Copies of this chain bind each other. A is one copy, B any other.
Amino acid sequence: MSMIETMEAEGGEAVSLHQRILSDISEKILSGAWAPGHRIPFEHELTTEYNCSRMTVNKALSQLAKAGLIERRRRSGSFVRQPQSQAAVLELHDIRIEVEALGLPYRYERLARLKRRSSADDRALLGLSAPGLVLSLECLHFAGQRPFAHEQRLINLAAVAEAGEEEFLGIAPGPWLIGRVPWSQAEHRIRATAAADHVADALDIETGAPCLVVERRTWSAEHPVTHVRFIYPAESHTLVARFTPSQG
């Protein structure tokens, strides 16, 4: 009776059962169909519902528990946990606007520009699988006399061909892209780091000084568009995000 059907689980996609259980239950929880506190079916019941072994159900539920969506109690069952995730509103920030909000004159400078075939690093940053042309840019943003942020950017020319003809001397890549490419998804990574020589020079700070790094990847309809890394000298910059719980 062993008949491993990794695919085509009764007319579906080519997904593993494990995945299917996971998404089914996540769906029910995130959609609110199963409210916080609700007891989800016992492993035993899911076993018959999905016609699989307890191990499979158990693995999926354990993962949901680790992700914080459910809470498991021996002898009692598994329950939907209360809060829910809060969407972060970190907005695509425009450095010019930030600087001008401080009442300081904004200035932009393009340091370097290079069109090349994507390296493995480039592809990793952009999330590309196949090689192709990319545009690599390095820029500086000033607030008054002082360097405010260092920008290192990759643009996937397969997605935005016209960028290959632009020099980016008079306009920063951010505003240029926003006007041209509708983005459908973005991912931010925020961390602290010690300034490397190269960047420290550009920002006129000491090598090793703490900096805030904001990296952003943007997709347009599943196509990777650009990757950008902003480096701000510490103390000069704070990100602010506000939340209101998405109701209870």
Minimal beta-carbon separation of A236 from chain B (angstroms): 9
A248 near B194 with CB under 8 A, answer no
B241 near A190 with CB under 8 A, answer yes
- Nearest B residue to A213 via CB reads B192
Q: How many copies does the complex hold?
A: 2
**Which of A88, A178, A193, A237 has the largest count of B CB atoms less than 10 A from its CB?**
A88
Q: Mark A207-248, 1 if CB is under 8 A from B, else 0.
A: 011111100000000000000000010110111111111001
CB proximity to B under 8 Å, residues A61-99: 66-68, 83, 85-92, 94, 97
- Nearest B residue to A183 via CB reads B245
A187 near B242 with CB under 8 A, answer yes
Whole-angstrom CA separation of A85 from B237 in the bound complex: 20
A-B contact pairs, 18 of them (CB 8 A): A59-B59, A86-B91, A86-B189, A87-B243, A88-B243, A92-B243, A183-B245, A184-B245, A186-B244, A187-B243, A188-B239, A188-B241, A192-B192, A192-B211, A192-B213, A192-B235, A194-B210, A208-B210
Apart from A88-B89, A190-B241, what are 11 other A-B pairs with CB-CB below 8 Å?
Answer: A66-B97, A86-B92, A184-B245, A186-B243, A187-B241, A189-B238, A190-B239, A190-B240, A191-B239, A192-B192, A192-B210
